[in-house]
Structure formats: C-alpha cells, structure tokens
Structure 1
Amino acid sequence: MGLSFNVLKGITKRGYQQPTPIQRKAIPLVLEGRDVVAMARTGSGKTACFLIPMFEKLKMRSAKAGARALVLSPTRELALQTLKFIKEIGRFMGLKAAVILGGDSMDEQFSAIHGNPDVIVATPGRFLHVCIEMELKLNSIEYVVFDEADRLFEMGLGEQLSEIASRLPDARQTLLFSATLPKVLVEFAKAGLSDPVLIRLDVESKIPEQLQLWYITVRPEERLAALLVLLKTHIDPNQQTVVFAATKHHVEYIHMILERVNITNTYIYSNLDPSARKINAAKFSTGKVKVLVVTDVAARGIDIPQLDNVINYNFPAKSKLFVHRVGRCARAGRSGTAYSLVGPDEHAYLLDLHLFLGRPLEIVTRSAKGGSVGRLPRSLIEEQHGALLTLHENNVDLVGMRKVTENAYQQYSRSRPAASSDSNRRVKELPFNSCSKEKETKLLNDRNEPALTKSSSEDIETTFGEVILPKKRKIDDLYKKNKRQRTDRDNFIPYLPPDRHTEEGLAVNNFQNEASQVQFDLTCDSEEMMRKSAQMKKWDRKKKKMVALPDKRAGKIKTESGVWIPATYKSNRYAQWKEKTKIAAANESDGDDETPAPNRRSEANTHWAKHNKKLKLKQKKSELKTTEQILKARKIAEKKKNKQKRRAKKTKKNK
C-alpha cells in the first residue's frame, strides 16, 4: 500500500498483520484522494479504513493550521473508541486529537479547540452547537469521515449533518462508512461527495461464519429464568457476555436480579449519565465484570475485545438490528456464540430474520435432532423459576420493578414495527410447539427510526460512477424487483372500469373533481384530536379569530440528546469563557501578527493599539493582593496623611 514508516510501525504495534477485505479495497482508493462510500458487515475493520489514510494525509503535527480532519460518530461510546484507535495506531505520528461530545463540559471543549488539534472526533449535535457558539470556521478541514452513516440518519441527525457539511470547504475528501445503504444516504452522497466510489462487500454474508446462532423458544413468564439458566449452567463464567434488552427498565430489572443471584454485572442505556456510562463500559472492557446488560445504544460500532457471547433477552423487531447486535462478537476472525430468547409473539420476527439472512429455519424435535431452534431442559427452567419466585417474595422492590417492566414491554410491543404479513401467515404452519415437555431439546449438552427507505438501483447508478463488488456478482442481481402476482382475467373483477380514463376525458361536469374542491371541515371527533388542534392554534386579537401557530421546529436543529436548538443559536457562554481564561488578548495579538498590514501607517496604528492594550492590562489591578502590596499601600496612605497634617499646620500658622 506504500505506507510511511511511522504509520506502518503503529499498525504492527497494534497487532495487525493482514488487512481485511474491506481494508484491501478501501485504503488504496482513499490514499488516491477519492471520495468513498464503503459498506461491509459489522466487525470487518472499517475504522482502520479511514484512520490509516488519514495519518498518511496529515503526516505530522501542525499547530497553526487548525483542525484538518473531522470524524463524526453517532454515539459517544463510538467516538471514544475512535479516539482510542487514533492514539494507538497513530502513536508515532505526533498528531493531536480532541473529542467533542454531548454531556461533557463546554469550557473544556473550548480550550481543546483553542489548542488547534489536528483531528476532531465528535457527535454531530454538540459539534454543531460549538461551531455556532464559537463562530468556528472549518476552512482548514480537508478530510471528513461519517462513521456509521446510516445510524446517523436513523437517529434523526440529518439536519445537523447537512448544516455541518455546508460549513465545510468544497475541496475536501469525504468518506462514508455504513453497514446499510438507505435512500437518504445515497441522496446525501449525491449532494455532498464528488464522483464517489461505492465499495459494497456486504452481499456475500451478513453474519460471520465463526458465529454460532441458537434460538431458544420460551414462555413470557419464563424468559428471565431462561437467562439465568444460560448464565449459570451453560456459559463459562470466565467468558464475557453482553445481554440486549428492549428498554432501560428491563436493563435495570435484569441488573437487580443478577446482583441478587451473585452474578457480577454492569449496565448501559441512553438516559444514563455520561460519566456513569463511561465507568460501566470500562468495567466490562477491562474484565472486572463479565456480564454487560445494555439496550440497543451499544448495538452499533462498539468493539469489545474478546467478546465471547451475545444474548438477545428480547428478540429484535428488525433483522438489521439483529445483525448489529450479534456482530459484537466473532469479530476479526474470532469465534463466538449468539443466543436469542424467542417468545410466542416473536416467532414471526425470527422467520423474517431467516428470510433476510437467506438461511433455512431448522427446528429441533425428537425426530429431527439437527437444528438451531429449540428449548431448554424443563427441569432447569423450573429450578430457576422457583428461585425467582422466592426472591420476589422476600424483596418488595423487585415486585415493583417487575410491574414497571411489564408496562414498559406493553408500550414497546405497541411501538415496534410489525412483522411481514407473509411471515405471520407462514409461522402458523411451522412446528414451534413440537418442542413440548415430552419432546424437549438437550441444547445445553451441545456446546458445538423511524426505518429508512431502501435505495433503488437507479439511485445508486446515478450517484456512484464506480461500484466495487465481490467477484462473480453483478449489481443487477442485488436489486431484483419483486414480480407482481398475475391476476386471473376470467374471474377477476377490477375495482375501476377499464374505460374510466376515456369517460373522464369526455365528461363535461365531473362530480368527483368538483366535490374534491369544495370541502367543509368539521370539528375533531375525539378528545385527543381536539386537544392537539387547540394546542396548534392561538387567539389573534387583531383578526378576532383562532390562527395557526408557526412551526416551532422551523429554523431549528435537533441535537443528539433530542433537544431542538435554533440554527443560529448562540449564547454568551464562549465570551464568558474567554473573559474567565484571559485568552482573548493573546488570540487577538496572534491574529494581528498573521495578518499583513497594507502600509506603514496601518502598521504604526496596530503597533500603538497593541501597546495601549498592554498598558491597560498592566493597569488592571487584581482583586486579591499579596501581603507586600498591602504593606506598601499602607505606607503610601500614611505618607499622604502626614503630608496633609503638615499642610494643615502651615495654613494655621499663616493665619
């Protein structure tokens, strides 16, 4: 690849020996200066694809140029992980990196940017807030990375990304790394990238070959008992395990249960304090605890070294989310196991997943021993379920928390997207109930965001001039249109007559068109709609009627914390920080040194302006005085008093 010595030294010290397929395809193109949209399955080494060329492009530290590279990440955990990789791989480059995250102190972020870092790793909401607050100019940035770009758009950060992209210079190199290619991402690449190359390596296999998948059918009331059976009986206690739950209430409830049964664990969810999230993640990554209970906030882009197992406590409603969950383990050639607890209301989602993966669904029965879908031994389930019942009888807080999780699951089930109608129909024909008590599976003895619309082939062809695919595959094979079902012309009665267009064209007075133009709006027919309509209107004194309120989101931008701020938002926080740190004068003097003067007269003016500023700064007295200054001031005051007394005596004598 023609890498420099310091870059190659950092790569070998990190332990990398051979590049992954996505790295072999992407790094040479990025080194050529091309704009790249890279797609590959999770755990394929996408982070190194943009860090290694970034080091080659930046070469060495530049203290005066300002930030030259910008990496935008969807979550703070992924941003901190990227910063860690920058420090490890680029340890011999001498580059300075800063991280701008929501929830951290803005004063520290102001000082970090004033330190002129070479690389900024940030979440979009806080970075845009800092740019507006500081009136930050991004003219020096020449290398931009949108990491997990599909996740950025799924989180509703499209407005922030467009605003940040408009502030960046046109002569920049832009990279998008993603696991999927939705239509909004293709449109963004069309507008913000110049002649991009699409590297698509996700069509071969969506899940690593070294990852074993086990699906365990459970009753709703025995789901927690099944989790305890896996953690206590089947999984090695020395192995690291991540448990994915539906809501933050489930995470807290599982954490409380595991603590009471002496299984050391920690937890992470979105509403948790940022410092607590960092501490809990460090506990798990360093190996102090072996079980991490999380929501889907940790399902994308987080690399946990040596992760052995993933447990889906609640089966995900989206197949793509399942891939990202189980992709936390079996990364970079390592092996791993993913266990999924599947309830009766989740069987259709399991079928959707196998249709998405293109794998057959094999259910284990007494006659068919081989397969991946089965049940745990009934004796172990009943043992743990009985222990949980006694545990709840002795702890009132667990009973209350269990009710909270039940209510949370009801809301979750109402809000999750429905499975496909085809899967709901076909799931009734599958023998899920064949794994009954007398035909139970001995599985334990066998150790062996709103959804974004998909992009079409036309969008990809018009956006990307070059598409790199795996061998023996064509782009047309990936986007085959679904064949429409043929209708029986003899027995099919259409809803509209076949000559309706002729009749509409010959009609003089069309009742349908005239009626659609004359409308009479009635009041709302429900209490909720009436309340919403009343909130959307206000009384106008001049017009003497109710008028619609202006859109509150107009001219505003949503941060990653969900808060809507104006696009021109600017408080006095940065000015207060400059006044507090006394950094304004130094910055202004530096700026004057860099700007050339047009003539001698202006040089003299700037010189005396600096001189006067320095005198004013010297004349300013600090509020806290030293003991020497106090004694000196007292002596001067005594001398003044003595002088005044002498003058008073002289005037008396003269009189």
Structure 2
Amino acid sequence: MNSTRDFIESFEDTDPFPVQKKSKKKQGDGFKGMGLSHPIVKGIQKRGYKVPTPIQRRTIPVALQGRDLVAMARTGSGKTACFLIPIFEKLKTRIAKSGARGLIMLPTRELAMQTITFIREIGKFTGLKCCLISGGDNMESQFEAIHGNPDIIVATPGRFVHLCVEMELKLNSIEIVVFDEADRLFEMGFGEQLKDIIARLPSTRQTLLFSATLPKSLVEFTRIGLSDPLLIRLDVESKLSDKLDCNYIWCRQEEKTSVLLCLMHKLAEKYAKNVDPPQIVIFAATRHHVEFIHTILMTANISSTYLFSNLDPSARKISVGKFRNRVVQVLVVTDIAARGIDIPEVGIVINYHFPSSPKLFVHRVGRCARAGTAGTAYTLITKEDVPYLLDLHLFLGKSFDFEQLGRVPAELLEEQHALLLEWHKEKADIESMENVCNNAYSKYLKSKPGASMDSVKRSKQLGLIINNPHPLFGANENSEGNDLLKRMKNYKPKATVFELFNFGVKEMKDKRNFHENVIANFRKRGQNEPVSSVNAKKLKFQTDNKDNYVPYLPEDHHSEFGLAVNNFEQAARKVGMDVLGDEEKQINLHEKMKKWDSKKKKMVGQKETQKKIRTESGVWISATYKTGKYKQWKEKAKADDQDDENDDEGGIERNSLPIKGWKKGASGQGKKARSELKQPEQIIKTREKKLRAMERSKKRKPKGKKRN
C-alpha cells in the first residue's frame, strides 16, 4: 500500500490540466479545439459526441503530445475515447504493408468486442484496419487476420501471447500500446503474459494505461513498462455519478426471489407508458443463481437473457447481441459484466446479492448513469449484508440514514410467494435449480471476504427492524397497521418489573418521580438512535480538532482499503490449511499427489508442477502456448508466398522458420506449391503465362503417326 501511495504522490504536481480551472475555449469548440484531423472529428460527430468529458479533456491533449500516461477515473466516464482518439491521430491512415502499429490489451472478450465496435464507428473515415484476437474464437481465422497486416490489434492477453509464441511474432512496428482496465488484467492473473508482451514491444513506443485502481503489482508493472508517465487521477473526487439514484430494499434471504419479481412488476408499471423503457441488468453471485433467475423471469413472461464466464463464447456473443439490440429487456449476469461493458440503454441495475467489496459495488452500479445520463440502482439488503453496507458508505465517504431502507408491502410479497410455490409444484426444474443455488450460495459465503470488524460490531448494535414500505411501492392500505406495530414495539410502560406485585410500589414510584428527568432524557435519546444510530456522526470521518492530534490512520484509509486488490490483510484472511478435500474426487486427487520418500520413509506431498517454457524475452509462460497449430495452418493454407512478400516489404516480422509447402518432383528438385491466396499482380502474371503457353502450343506442328 505504501508503494502505491508513494507512486501517486510522486506525480501529484505533474498534472498540467487541473480540473477546477475551466477552459477558456468556448463549449462549442469541443473536440475541434484539440487540433484533431478532419476524418477523426467527422467520426466523433457521427458517433454523437459533442463535448469531451473531464477525463477526455485532460488525457487526450497529453496523449497527443506523445507522452506515456496513467489515467484513473470512475467507470462510465468515457475512457475508451481517451485512447482511441490519440491512436487514430497518430496512425492517420492505413499503411497496408507496414504491419500492426497500434495494440490495445483488454481483460475480457466482451470488452474487446465493444472496443472493436467503437473503432469502427469513430475511425470510420480514417480507413484504418483492425482485428480482434480473443480466446474462444477460431485460431486459423486469427492467423489469417494477422497475415492481413491490420493497423490496430485489439486483443486479450492470453490468446495474444499464444499467437506471439506460435507465430514467433516480432512487434517491432508497434507505435502505441494501450492497457485498458489494467487492474482487472492483473486480478485475472495475466501478469506473466503482460510482461512478455512488454518485452516484445520496441522501446520507442508510447504506452497508455487506464485503470480504476492502482494495486502494488500494477505499480511495479507501470515502472517497468512506462517511461516517465504522467498520472491523471479523477477517481478520488467522485466514485459514483451524481445522476445515480441508489435505492435499498430490505428483505429476508428466503424472500429475495419474491422481492425481485415484485420489483420487476413495479418497474414494468412505472415505465409502461415509455416508448423505450430502460434496460435492466441484474447481478447475482454465482452462475447457478443466474440460470435460476433467468428461468424464473421467463416463467413470469419477462424477456431476459444471461451471461457468465463458463458460458460458450458464441452463446455469450449472442446474449450480449440480444440485449444490445433490445431483443430482450433484462440481462442477468455475474460479475464478469461489472467492468467495462458499455450499453447506453441500461438505465437500471439490480443487485440480487450484495457485492463482496465496495469497489465491486461501484463498478456494478456504474453500468448505468454513464456519460451524463441518469440511472437507478436497486440493492436487496438482508441482515447479513448490513456490515458490507456500512463498509460501502465508509468507502464512499458518505453518511447513510437507515430510514431510507424500505420493504415490499406484505400483500404484494405474499402474492408473489404463492405464485412461486405453484411454479415449484408444476415444474420440477425450478425446485432442483433452487436446491443447487442454495448449495452454491453456501460455498460462495465461504469464499466471500468478510466485512471489517468495526462494521460488524456496529451492525450488531443496531438491531435493525424495518417495517416501513419502500418509496417505490408508495403508501399501501396496511401502512397504518405497520405504524401501529412499530409503535407497539417501541412502547415501554413506565412501571417496572418490581411493581408487578404490591411489594415496594410506593418506594419505586418515589424513585421514578425523583429521577423522572434523567429517565425521560435517556428514553428520548434511545428513541432517536435505535435504527438510524449509524448516521453522519458515526459514518463520517472524525475530523474534529485536527490541530490537536496526529491521527493513527489517514482520512482516506477506508477508500484506499477498498481500492486495494493485493492487500495483505485480505490475502492473509483467505489463507487456510486444507488437509483433505470435502468431496470424494478431491480426496482421491489428494492421495494421488503423494509419493514415497525413500529418505523420510513415508508418503510425502508432491507439488503439482506445470510445464513452462522460456520465451525470447526471458519470461516463463505455460508450455501449452506452443502447439504447432500455426505450422499446420501454413501447410494447409500455403501462405508462404505471402510471408516472403511481407518480409521483403516490411510486414509483420517472424523468426526464420523451415520453409513448408515444398514438394519434390520426379527429378528430385524442389517445386514450390501454388498459393491459393493470390494478389492481383500474381493473378495477372498467371494469366499472361497461360496466354504465352497457348501461343506456343498453336505454333507447334502436329506429330505424324508412327508406321509399323
């Protein structure tokens, strides 16, 4: 954590574009005032961008100067255009035979596909060619795309390193490289691949790094991969959009599905008159819950689709396409879609399960209220989620009034619950899926990091009991009954337990009359703080009398703790000693991993080693990257002619390989196989050769018949 803070402090005074100073240029200048070329400005206007966002206003001029850059801003602030516009301005136009000049690294294939769409829209008039390299797609088509010498490569690290090792690529022509969602890249374990990619790039490149956080591992990577970078940080000022409306609905764990159905029907009523109702994203903890929620919504005649990491790549592409094209209104996802996915029509986010960290909450609700638009987030809160809710508002630095919490009216909840019971009886699949979800959720809780001890202690002191309805559902007929129950619960008689019998009645009355003022003040204070005791006084940082003492912790320690990815305390909390597995398969695997030690005379644990190879850059990566598929494709496609021409004319460079595609004739001399992929010049040359052969055949005299 100290290295991260030192890294940030070392760049605090280097930002030449402070946010508070407003630009003297007119608002109408927009992107034109940045000195961009006409094709790029035309593409920006075609996309619909008029005024640059704060992060765009500060990063694009720096990137256009050719400096390395580290930018941090909250999600939905327009970071994609921050690196696409400088790439277009630097590359200008397409150069077909120079090889790839721009490289964009992204953590997930959905984000990579989204970036490709942005490139084709904004760079429509530049003529630049781009290709997508991501896992799950056919490698042969990606070999062919690399041979086409694209100007910009958009890739995920795992598959791109695989192609680099297979094809033995030399990325000497790269002029600018971008690492988007860099903290997520390291969270997903792409550290070795990124270091290998950095080692393959030329030292004269320009590097742009965009991240929501700066963990320790990313700071070390930044020092290696960037040269004198400029840090621009906008994440501290506002973690959530001002146009985002956060709502919290109180419920029990077993009521969540019924509450979700009530919420969906209420939202359908609310936006029934809208021509284009806002699209909804529902976040769940596990893929089993995603499938279960999708089944329930489809049973309730609510069109939806789903997305999770284990889903087939083609199915993931179809699901995102359906939702993006408004074929369905609801998308049920795990946290795979919490980062980077931008769908402009998303107006509502629902957290079926409360996220495990404040940073994840920010990224989830950041799917709506993007680029200045309004959005609403609904979060289902149970008693177990209260400590995480307290941690969230400590992270945001905002006070929270628990009177904002509300329930779904009992009559609506009972109606949906009865409907769910009927579905359970009619469809056996729903009941079995719910059992699987319960088992998955119990395992999820074991892996879920715990909340801070202070928040757990505060949540126990609160003793929350929420009876008031949520504002979305408004006042209902039973609201007076709820108020009556609340008053009955808070009612405390003046008489004490000692006055139940006649013994000591007079003495207790005298005592109560004597201490009446003290008792009244105590009860008044208790009535004001049973539910909303964790208010601004307790949630706000203690900043009184700063001059009189030195605080033990910095003011933003809650924020830094939430932003940290590789935190020692969080990592140490997960450490455990697993002697045996909890399933038969794991127990057998544990036994197989033991071997006999002749010196110790007993069975000892055998470390599971993965074979690795050392690349030209000196980085050790998995040996599975070298499979020989590229050589097989070259023999099949007979692409050696194009390879030789690209090498002569400055295309993508590859190390010298034994030339394939040669055949031996009858005389033993090598004859090169004809290429099926031909250039126009080769086709013309072949036609001329055929014409000359036909002319020679016409001039020949016919041979006479042999006589007996």
TM-score by length of structure 2 reads 0.69
**2:625 aligns to what?**
569
What is the 5 A alignment of 1:77-116? 77-116=110-149
**2:433 aligns to what?**
401
| 1:342 Cα offset (Å) | 1.0
| 1:429 Cα offset (Å) | 2.5
8 Å contact from structure 2 (residues 638, 674) kept in 1: no
Superposed CA offset, 1:438-473 (max 9, x none): x44444239xxxxxxxxxxxxxxxxxxxxxxxxxxx
Superposed CA offset, 1:214-260 (max 9, x none): 01111111100110011112343632100000000000001111111
CA–CA distance in 1 between the matches of 2:387 and 2:599?
58
8 Å contact from structure 1 (residues 66, 116) kept in 2: yes
Query: Equivalent residue of 1:263, what SS?
Result: coil
CA–CA distance in 2 between the matches of 1:262 and 1:2?
52
CA–CA distance in 2 between the matches of 1:530 and 1:442?
52
CA–CA distance in 1 between the matches of 2:675 and 2:94?
38
**1:445 aligns to what?**
474
Query: Equivalent residue of 2:95, what SS?
Result: coil
| 1:567 Cα offset (Å) | 4.9
Superposed CA offset, 1:11-45 (max 9, x none): 11111000000001100110111110000000000
8 Å contact from structure 1 (residues 375, 443) kept in 2: no
Out of 552, 557, 570, the position equivalent to 2:609 is: 552
8 Å contact from structure 2 (residues 358, 395) kept in 1: yes
**1:130 aligns to what?**
163
| 1:532 Cα offset (Å) | 7.8
Query: Equivalent residue of 2:402, what SS?
Result: coil
Query: Equivalent residue of 2:327, what SS?
Result: coil
Structure 2 residue 197 is matched with structure 1 residue 164: yes
Aligned length: 523
8 Å contact from structure 2 (residues 285, 334) kept in 1: yes
| 1:344 Cα offset (Å) | 1.6
Structure 2 residue 415 is matched with structure 1 residue 383: yes
CA–CA distance in 2 between the matches of 1:377 and 1:387?
16
Amino acid at match of 1:538: K
Superposed CA offset, 1:628-649 (max 9, x none): xxxxxxxxxxxxxxx9xx99xx
**1:222 aligns to what?**
255
**1:490 aligns to what?**
none
Out of 394, 408, 420, the position equivalent to 2:452 is: 420
Structure 2 residue 634 is matched with structure 1 residue 578: yes
8 Å contact from structure 1 (residues 218, 342) kept in 2: yes
**1:332 aligns to what?**
371
CA–CA distance in 1 between the matches of 2:355 and 2:43?
38
Amino acid at match of 1:188: F
Seen in structure 2, the aligned counterparts of structure 1 residues 545 and 341 have a Cα distance that, compared at 3 Å, is closer
| 1:530 Cα offset (Å) | 9.6
8 Å contact from structure 1 (residues 43, 328) kept in 2: yes
Structure 2 residue 221 is matched with structure 1 residue 193: no
| 1:167 Cα offset (Å) | 1.2
8 Å contact from structure 1 (residues 234, 444) kept in 2: no
CA–CA distance in 2 between the matches of 1:551 and 1:527?
16
Structure 2 residue 363 is matched with structure 1 residue 306: no
Seen in structure 2, the aligned counterparts of structure 1 residues 227 and 556 have a Cα distance that, compared at 3 Å, is farther
**1:267 aligns to what?**
306
Seen in structure 2, the aligned counterparts of structure 1 residues 484 and 281 have a Cα distance that, compared at 3 Å, is closer
Query: Equivalent residue of 1:341, what SS?
Result: strand
**1:253 aligns to what?**
292
CA–CA distance in 1 between the matches of 2:245 and 2:611?
49
Amino acid at match of 2:181: E
Seen in structure 2, the aligned counterparts of structure 1 residues 589 and 25 have a Cα distance that, compared at 3 Å, is closer
Seen in structure 2, the aligned counterparts of structure 1 residues 482 and 247 have a Cα distance that, compared at 3 Å, is farther
What is the 5 A alignment of 1:483-498? 483=552
| 1:159 Cα offset (Å) | 1.2
CA–CA distance in 2 between the matches of 1:350 and 1:613?
77
CA–CA distance in 2 between the matches of 1:106 and 1:618?
23
Seen in structure 2, the aligned counterparts of structure 1 residues 332 and 177 have a Cα distance that, compared at 3 Å, is same
8 Å contact from structure 2 (residues 97, 649) kept in 1: no
8 Å contact from structure 1 (residues 38, 198) kept in 2: yes
CA–CA distance in 2 between the matches of 1:153 and 1:525?
26
| 1:174 Cα offset (Å) | 0.7
Segments of 5+ residues of structure 1 without an aligned counterpart are 365-370, 447-476, 486-523, 558-563, 596-611, 621-642, 651-655
Out of 388, 396, 399, the position equivalent to 1:357 is: 396
Query: Equivalent residue of 2:346, what SS?
Result: coil
CA–CA distance in 2 between the matches of 1:565 and 1:205?
39
8 Å contact from structure 2 (residues 106, 155) kept in 1: yes
Seen in structure 2, the aligned counterparts of structure 1 residues 527 and 108 have a Cα distance that, compared at 3 Å, is closer
Amino acid at match of 2:236: V
Amino acid at match of 1:197: L
Amino acid at match of 1:178: S
CA–CA distance in 2 between the matches of 1:537 and 1:343?
44
Query: Equivalent residue of 1:301, what SS?
Result: coil
Query: Equivalent residue of 1:391, what SS?
Result: helix
CA–CA distance in 2 between the matches of 1:33 and 1:213?
40
Amino acid at match of 2:280: T
Out of 406, 415, 423, the position equivalent to 1:374 is: 406
After TM superposition, the runs of 4+ consecutive aligned structure 1 residues lying more than 6 A away are: 529-533, 540-548
Seen in structure 2, the aligned counterparts of structure 1 residues 575 and 217 have a Cα distance that, compared at 3 Å, is same
8 Å contact from structure 1 (residues 315, 341) kept in 2: yes
Out of 152, 159, 167, the position equivalent to 1:119 is: 152
RMSD: 3.0
Out of 241, 245, 251, the position equivalent to 1:212 is: 245
Segments of 5+ residues of structure 2 without an aligned counterpart are 1-33, 476-545, 555-576, 615-619, 652-667, 677-704
CA–CA distance in 2 between the matches of 1:532 and 1:160?
29
CA–CA distance in 2 between the matches of 1:30 and 1:617?
47
Query: Equivalent residue of 1:397, what SS?
Result: helix
8 Å contact from structure 1 (residues 7, 93) kept in 2: yes
8 Å contact from structure 2 (residues 73, 235) kept in 1: yes
CA–CA distance in 2 between the matches of 1:589 and 1:234?
61
8 Å contact from structure 1 (residues 378, 440) kept in 2: no
| 1:312 Cα offset (Å) | 0.2
8 Å contact from structure 1 (residues 243, 310) kept in 2: yes
Seen in structure 2, the aligned counterparts of structure 1 residues 527 and 316 have a Cα distance that, compared at 3 Å, is closer
Seen in structure 2, the aligned counterparts of structure 1 residues 333 and 545 have a Cα distance that, compared at 3 Å, is same
Structure 2 residue 100 is matched with structure 1 residue 64: no
Superposed CA offset, 1:578-624 (max 9, x none): 111111133225535779xxxxxxxxxxxxxxxx999544799xxxx
8 Å contact from structure 1 (residues 134, 574) kept in 2: yes
Superposed CA offset, 1:196-220 (max 9, x none): 1110001111000000000111111
| 1:566 Cα offset (Å) | 2.2
Structure 2 residue 297 is matched with structure 1 residue 240: no
**583-592 or 75-84, which deviates more:** 583-592
Q: Report sequence identity in percent.
A: 57
CA–CA distance in 2 between the matches of 1:527 and 1:408?
20
